[in-house]
Chain A
């Protein structure tokens, strides 16, 4: 019956309270910094840059005092897909980062060959997935949904002058997130009511799709009607309390940037710029070349 406890599936906003620098950051600055790191991850294609980035996200994780094992455990379901993708890339090598001429063949077995470019693609995309995964978990574990919404609204606030409805959109997100658990409980009740009447929501085979569709109707239609009825109540409630949109509205808690927030943003920006420089200048290749000449000269002695 535990499959029917629908709140278990509602896994957004898993905030883990800790006393850490990351938790205390102003959400606006945190979001900006995370955006910068994501840009750095997206554009880094070399080994050295990715090693730096992995170290960086692990360092952030340690700074946030979040449990390392717990965070990484979430990666486990992605592993089979990752292995499959890697196999696929070896069998059908796609276009790679570098031009095709500077790839060397590392392994050859019958018609399959593993080139250095394919290996780089596999390793770098695995590293990327790990980096992005740790980073997004870090963000949701260390920031409450309210902070996230207010942070986004704060970042979009300058656009409000040109008529962009930043406040209204963030209110949409707040209300939606507020009602997801409520509707989950509602859905649970609907499913149980149907089961009590003999419906079977177990896994029927893929061939029973018409039955699957028919079983959905007595769930989805009431779900929509109940939520529409709830929104009518909410509209009346908001109107009765004189809600008139974002103009002139004040907040209970105001976001106030401290020097530490600026410092954190500058450090992260510098770090990302450095990583992108390392990546762009292919410093790892020159490092390898330098090590090789060093070894050769040592052998000469």
Chain B
């Protein structure tokens, strides 16, 4: 699935893939199933950042960043808590999810495709967690102790979910062979 040489096709491809990933983000945010996983801590872990990661890994940092931008705008509009009604916290961290995911992936893909995808997903998720909580602390919504607790309780499971989903999707899409044969889902 390498992008084609013609510039118009690249443009169309970027527009369409960005749009599809944004559509999935919006959909997961609206539906009662899929976007949020109830956690014992009382807050929900999210899967909404995964489209930005997949967009970034498949089509490059620009697509990843744009999906993140629209994810941020969407969470700003739908926000029910003062933290995410703050445009700084809602949008800026999300811009970087797909970008860092792409660069982590691009740096490692020469060694092993699957490992690179997994690391990319982990880095993208960590970017989201760290930047959102970091800005929440800077803007005075949370104390640093609370934020680091949330980071550990949510960051790690969110990273696991993101890695599993991203690796499965990218491997199936690019038909990267895993050792298992037959259905890898």
Contacts and interface: CB of A to CB of B under 8 A. Distances in A.
Interface of A: 3, 6, 9-12, 78, 81, 168-169, 171-180, 183-184, 187, 191, 201, 203-207, 209, 212-213, 216-225, 227-228, 230-231, 234-235, 238-239, 243-245
A209 B20 contact: no
Contact of A168 (B11, B26, B33, B169): B11
Chain B contact residues (Cβ within 8 angstroms of A): what range?
Answer: 35 or more
User: Secondary structure at chain B's binding surface: helix, strand, loop or mixed?
Assistant: helix
Contacts of B168: 217, 221
B15 A224 contact: no
A203 B168 CA distance: 26
Contacts of A222: 185
Contacts of A9: 30-32
Nearest to A214: B164
B144 interface: no
A172 B40 contact: no
Contacts of A220: 34, 47, 50, 165
B147 interface: no
B12 A216 contact: no
A180 B16 contact: no
Q: Which 10 A-B pairs have the closest CB atoms?
A: A175-B19, A176-B22, A179-B23, A176-B23, A224-B169, A176-B19, A231-B20, A231-B16, A172-B19, A227-B20
A180 B16 CA distance: 13
Given A224-B165, A228-B173, A206 B16 contact: no
Contacts of B50: 220, 224
B93 to A, nearest CB: 20
Interface string B17-40: 111111110110011111001111
B23 A216 contact: no
A206 B161 CA distance: 16
| Max chain A C-beta neighbours (<10 A), residue from B11, B31, B33, B47 | B33
Given A176-B23, A176-B26, A180-B27, A235 B32 contact: no
30 contacts: A9-B31, A9-B32, A171-B19, A175-B20, A176-B18, A176-B19, A177-B26, A180-B23, A180-B26, A180-B27, A183-B23, A204-B38, A205-B38, A206-B41, A209-B38, A213-B160, A216-B33, A216-B34, A216-B161, A224-B24, A224-B169, A224-B173, A225-B173, A227-B20, A231-B17, A231-B20, A234-B16, A238-B16, A243-B8, A245-B8
Interface in B33-75: 33-34, 37-42, 45, 47, 50-51, 54, 58, 66, 70
